[in-house]
A and B are shown apart, each in its own frame.
Chain A
Amino acid sequence: QSALTQPASVSGSPGQSITISCTGTSSDVGGYNYVSWYQQLPGKAPKLMIYEVTNRPSGVSHRFSGSKSGNTASLTISGLQAEDDADYYCSSYTSSRPVIFGGGTKLTVL
């Protein structure tokens, strides 16, 4: 089973909104409401930003939101800030193993 599909890169200017997609199958993204999103700053460990499709952990900015339609989940970042410049990974519970990650998306804040 290969990784969930994410765009390799997205970009946006400060203040704008961007959306990162994460496409899987009915055996993972589409079959469970267990999609998570992680932010990884350069040289750092990943940080949980969204869990169970739409939930934000304590301390995560309200500018980050998640959604899902069918086999595709999405992460939206509104009011882009320079500090959002990072790699973003989606993950999902699957029918065959506990978790599968997406290939990652590099967000560039212009």
Chain B
Amino acid sequence: EVQLLESGGDLAQPGGSLRLSCAAFGFTFRTYAMSWVRQAPGKGLEWVSGISGSGGRTYYADSVKGRFTISRDNSKNALYLQMNSLRVEDTAVYYCAKDPTAEVAGLFDCWGQGTLVTVSS
């Protein structure tokens, strides 16, 4: 069974950092692109960042470019999101999502359960 399990969400101060992780199970991880999608409390979905299956290509939303870094370790079947210079508006549930292709196409056929990031002083 395909499964994604996020971790690392926490309370952080504005200007602080957090690192989110996503463990993947049940599929050949290196074959598929992955993304992070977030949802602020009571709001809609926002794509944050994506990475190709090989890790060679990365993409970012304008709202996080220069502050967040996506990476993956295909030997560990793991996806990461390093979040620096956090802002109050980064508060959201962060979902790890799998693309059914090797390149980031913005189509998500499997989602994790999400991890909550709260940025507040």
Give chain A's interface residues, CB within 8 Å of chain B: 3, 34, 36, 38, 45-48, 51-52, 57, 89, 91-94, 97-104
Contact = CB atoms under 8 A, between A and B. Distances in A.
Contact of A46 (B46, B95, B106): B95
A58 to B, nearest CB: 10
Contacts of A100: 47, 106
A98 B44 contact: no
Given A46-B95, A46-B111, A48-B108, A98 B59 contact: yes
Interface of B: 35, 37, 44-47, 50, 59, 61, 95, 104-109, 111-114
B74 to A, nearest CB: 20
Contacts, number: 64
B112 A45 contact: yes
B44 A101 contact: yes
Given A34-B105, A48-B109, A97 B46 contact: no
A89 B35 contact: no
Chain A binding surface, main DSSP class: loop
A46 B45 contact: yes
Given A97-B61, A98-B35, A89 B45 contact: yes
Given A34-B105, A45-B95, A91-B106, A101 B111 contact: no
